[in-house]
């Protein structure tokens, strides 16, 4: 891999639990952690994706458990499965998310609830389950939450996600202070546009993708390997004095454009609604 900044054994002896690890950025982080010596345990709702990712990494270094992070009992079972397979969890990455474009006045209560429960409640459930075990063992650990720049700017048409990510950012900073006494570091990453398969299907049809790229000062989208390297650095011993921080990785985009989807507010609303309808998963 280009631009190596960590030793090849930087995560040796660690077990990392990654939610949403079967695809996209979660998959990239899982693969990178494994190359640095970690054992990775993936949690998500889609078993076949988790199984495929583990097969790519290698079954001696990767395991999985299908669970919905909105369900606190399912989360407890997933963490127990991780520790049964690989021993104590040293690193937690809360990457599971849900998002879609919608006019807020069209949102149903169920749609709002589904996103907020996945992003905010799911992060809390998993953080509490793993954090309690870290505290009991008394050897510390590292927790990394994946948020978005619109956690602090807000953004039109993704109100449930923006509200939930803002909550996760507050959770990150709160626990960084509260749990420092236990040797637990809590940080966050705010990725900009990384056009993974899931993001393209739900949030970035070609016309939106082109407009988004024009607002990135660096002139390109992010590469999953770049985020994976940043995540590995933040959970490793190379960053022992970093806690309670949120690192933005977006090519400078949030500095120039504010809310990620605010530009869509300039579209005629009927045209925007038609666009959102095209992006909804087919039932």
Catalytic residue among 121, 150, 182, 241: 150
Whether 121 is catalytic is no
85-119 pLDDT per residue, tens: 999 999 999 999 999 999 999 999 999 999 999 99
Measure the N-to-C terminal CA separation of the chain; round to a whole number of Å: 40
- Which class is domain 15-279? alpha beta
Q: What is the pLDDT of residue 2?
A: 52
pTM of the model: 0.89
3-state secondary structure of 256: helix
Contact 25, 194 (CB under 8 A): yes
13-29 pLDDT per residue, tens: 999 999 999 999 999 99
Mean pLDDT of 118-133: 98
CA atoms within 13 A on the CB side of 264: 27
Burial class (CB in 10 A: 0-12, 13-18, 19+), 137: middle
Q: What is the pLDDT of residue 1?
A: 46
Mean pLDDT of 105-134: 97
């Amino acid at each position: 891999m280009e631009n190596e900044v960590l030793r090849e054994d930087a995560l040796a002896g660690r077990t990392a639990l990654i939610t949403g690890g079967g695809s996209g950025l979660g998959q990239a982080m899982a693969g990178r952690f494994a190359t640095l010596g970690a054992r990775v345990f993936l949690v998500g709702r889609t078993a076949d994706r988790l199984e495929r990712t583990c097969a790519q990494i290698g079954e001696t270094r990767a395991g999985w458990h299908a669970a919905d992070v909105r369900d606190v009992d399912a989360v407890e079972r997933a963490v127990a499965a991780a520790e049964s397979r690989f021993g104590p969890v040293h690193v937690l990455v809360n990457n599971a998310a849900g998002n879609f474009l919608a006019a807020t006045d069209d949102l149903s209560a169920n749609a709002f609830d589904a996103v907020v429960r996945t992003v905010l409640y799911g992060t809390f459930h998993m953080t509490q389950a793993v954090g309690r075990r870290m505290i009991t063992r008394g050897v510390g650990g590292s927790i990394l939450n994946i948020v978005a720049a619109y956690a602090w700017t807000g953004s039109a048409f993704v109100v449930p996600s923006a509200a939930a990510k803002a909550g996760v950012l507050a959770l990150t900073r709160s626990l960084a202070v509260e749990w420092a006494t236990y040797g637990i570091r809590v940080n966050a990453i705010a990725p900009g546009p990384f056009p993974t398969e899931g993001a393209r299907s739900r949030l970035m049809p070609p016309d939106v993708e082109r407009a988004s790229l024009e607002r990135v000062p660096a002139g390109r989208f992010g590469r999953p390997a770049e985020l994976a390297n940043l995540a590995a650095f933040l959970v490793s011993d190379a960053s022992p004095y970093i806690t309670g921080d949120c690192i933005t990785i977006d090519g400078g985009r949030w500095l120039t454009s504010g809310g990620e989807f605010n530009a869509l507010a300039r579209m005629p609303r009927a045209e925007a609604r038609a666009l959102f309808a095209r992006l909804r998963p087919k039932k």
